[in-house]
Amino acid sequence: MNHGTPEGYGEHIYDSFTCTEQYIRNIQCKRNELVQPIITPRFALNCDMQLMMLLGELAAKYNVHIQTHISESTGEVAAVQKLYPQCRNYADVYDRAGLLTNKTVLAHGIHLSDDELKVLAARGTSISHCPNSNTSLKSGLCDVRRLLDTGIKVGLGTDVSGGYSISILNAIRSALQTSTHIFFKKHQGSGYIPLSYHEAFYLATLGGAKALSVDDKTGNFKVGKDFDALIVNMRKPGPIDILDKTDIKDLIQKFLYTGDDRNISKVYVAGRQVK
């Protein structure tokens, strides 16, 4: 951050650039596939164009990921347009800085225009849907169906600086509720179809992997990919130890809607048990 920040939080533009480059080198030299650097401009209101362009050059030079925010609230969108009157819209600010790539993840994306969606789809840029945070901050309802129909990669996020839960199960449930609320708002005669729990589960798994451009390594159980998995025990005492006559789809649905961390007995990351 180097613009519009509280005292003590801002950085000099070249200090920010050099420290970011050094950080990238430090992480990459460790050669750990599970830990990768990601360039993080706070967002367009806290970084000027010169800094964002320098960060875009670093992303291209080192082929690294980028994360930032976009169109979380209508006030934010208006402020960005005022700060960058030469740009067509919010997405254009990042695009001119070279920050929209197929390794870029933008949080929120609630108030994107149709033109912006086309640009994001063309760049391969992803949206991290953070429904809990969006509701907690009263930012709005993100229409994930609209994003997916435009060809944009979407994964789920928690954004606990604005939301109140780090649980991806909570993100799944919040995404389903948000989509249902949009359905109510549009009225049943509109033909709008809210997200199903199958689709929300996809957003939390393979959708998230695609959003991060790591779907060649993880996201599902395709042969050759890393074994990233949760072993879920559905017989733990609690709200899901009833209705014994269920098939695997019923069990998954019950876990997504009523399960919690007590039902997770083992966690595997890249084939290694970590819990």
- CATH homologous superfamily of 13-221 equals Metal-dependent hydrolases (3.20.20.140)
Q: Which residues pair with 120 in a beta bridge?
A: none
pLDDT band at 234 (very low <50, low <70, confident <90, very high): confident
Q: Report the C-alpha dihedral over residues 233, 203, 139, 88, rounded to 10 degrees.
A: 160
Ordered by start, the domain boundaries in the chain are 13-221, 227-274
Q: pLDDT tens digits, residue range 25-79?
A: 999 999 998 999 999 999 999 999 999 999 999 999 999 999 999 999 999 999 9
The pLDDT of residue 251: 87
Do the beta carbons of residue 48 and residue 61 sit within 8 Å?
no
Average pLDDT over residues 179-192: 86
pLDDT over 90 (residue 9): no
Q: How many CA atoms lie within 13 A of 170 on its CB side?
A: 16
pLDDT band at 191 (very low <50, low <70, confident <90, very high): confident
Average pLDDT over residues 201-220: 97
The pLDDT of residue 242: 61
The pLDDT of residue 238: 62
Give the mean pLDDT of the chain.
94
Structure tokens at 266: 């083992």
The pLDDT of residue 8: 86
The pLDDT of residue 245: 72
274: left (phi over 0), alpha (psi -120 to 50) or beta: alpha
Phi, psi of 47 (to 5 degrees): -135, 130
**17, 73, 76, 80, 166 from 154: Cα distances, Å:** 29, 19, 21, 23, 18
Give the C-alpha separation, 72 to 111, whole Å: 7
Give the C-alpha separation, 55 to 102, whole Å: 15
Do the beta carbons of residue 81 and residue 57 sit within 8 Å?
no
Do the beta carbons of residue 210 and residue 217 sit within 8 Å?
no
Identity of the residue numbered 191: G
